[in-house]
Amino acid sequence: MQSSWRFFIVTELLLFLWAVYQLFDNVPVLLILIFAIINFVYSAKKVYKTSFNQFQKIGSLAAMLICLLYSPAVWLMLVLAILFVGLKGVEVSGIDLFSSAPWRKKQIKMVKTTASEPKSGRRFKRPWVGNQRFGSDTYEWDDINMSIIYGDTIIDLGNTLLPKEDNVVIVRKGFGKTRILVPTGIGVCLEHSAMIGEAAFEGEHFNLKNESLKLYSNEFDEAARRVKIVTNTLFGDIEVIRV
């Protein structure tokens, strides 16, 4: 996800440079754009505003928009931004646009497995910045232990099979919201601390200010499968949702 955002930003910057080149290559459009900017700033800074000043601002904004849309590079920037943000928004939110399609009714889903590895000494890297979603597809469970500086995180436990033992999810975060989807029948223990934030668990909401709390679901002691969620956040919310 981090590399895709880097590609998007670099591509937008290149298209922006192309748009600037096109504006300087078309002198009449450039002069109109400069005049519109000066007119907008002049009307916005006037102390005593009249209805004509409002017309000046609206007319200047319309002229700037027309001048910018005159460049094909600006159109490409807008199209790329809409496509990228739309696709990434679907990826992070986990929405499946074709879940009701006829060809998905008899679809066979396979659990994603990995080759057997030694339990000791495994090393893997997670991004520190950006939105992340775990469990978009069916996957083999492994305890989660992650640290992130900034970003929203969604962990979906509905697409995996938790072992009949205590399972652990640990999230340390600077800024951002954490949302954990837990199937019905799974016992949950939530241990959360935050400088400023909110916690939603089993229909209850808590406002935290440099506080910690520890909560258990009603069926925790009797549940065959249990998950312990430990989260630490500076500024952000935690939400545990039953699915």
* pLDDT cut 70: percent of the chain above it: 81
Given this model, what pLDDT does residue 71 score? 84
Given this model, what pLDDT does residue 103 score? 45
Where does a domain end: 43, 74, 93? 93
Across all residues in the chain, what is the average pLDDT? 80
- 124 domain residue, yes or no: no
- 118 domain residue, yes or no: no
In the predicted model, is pLDDT for residue 87 greater than 90? no
In the predicted model, is pLDDT for residue 68 greater than 90? no
- 103 domain residue, yes or no: no
Where does a domain end: 93, 120, 153? 93
- 88 domain residue, yes or no: yes
Shared domain for 62 and 166, answered yes or no, is no
Given this model, what pLDDT does residue 119 score? 56
Shared domain for 150 and 85, answered yes or no, is no
E strands, the chain, in order: 132-134, 144-150, 153-156, 166-175, 178-182, 187-201, 204-216, 226-235, 238-242
Given this model, what pLDDT does residue 166 score? 85
pLDDT, average across residues 84-96: 59
Given this model, what pLDDT does residue 232 score? 92
Given this model, what pLDDT does residue 45 score? 79
Looking at the structure of the chain, the number of domains it has is 2
CB count in 10 Å sphere of residue 233: 24
* Domain containing residue 156: 129-242
pLDDT, average across residues 83-97: 60
In the predicted model, is pLDDT for residue 138 greater than 60? yes
Where does a domain end: 39, 74, 93? 93
- What are the tokens at 147? 């640290």
- 184 domain residue, yes or no: yes
Given this model, what pLDDT does residue 230 score? 93
- 114 domain residue, yes or no: no
Given this model, what pLDDT does residue 137 score? 73
Q: Is the pTM of this model over 0.75?
A: no
Given this model, what pLDDT does residue 102 score? 54
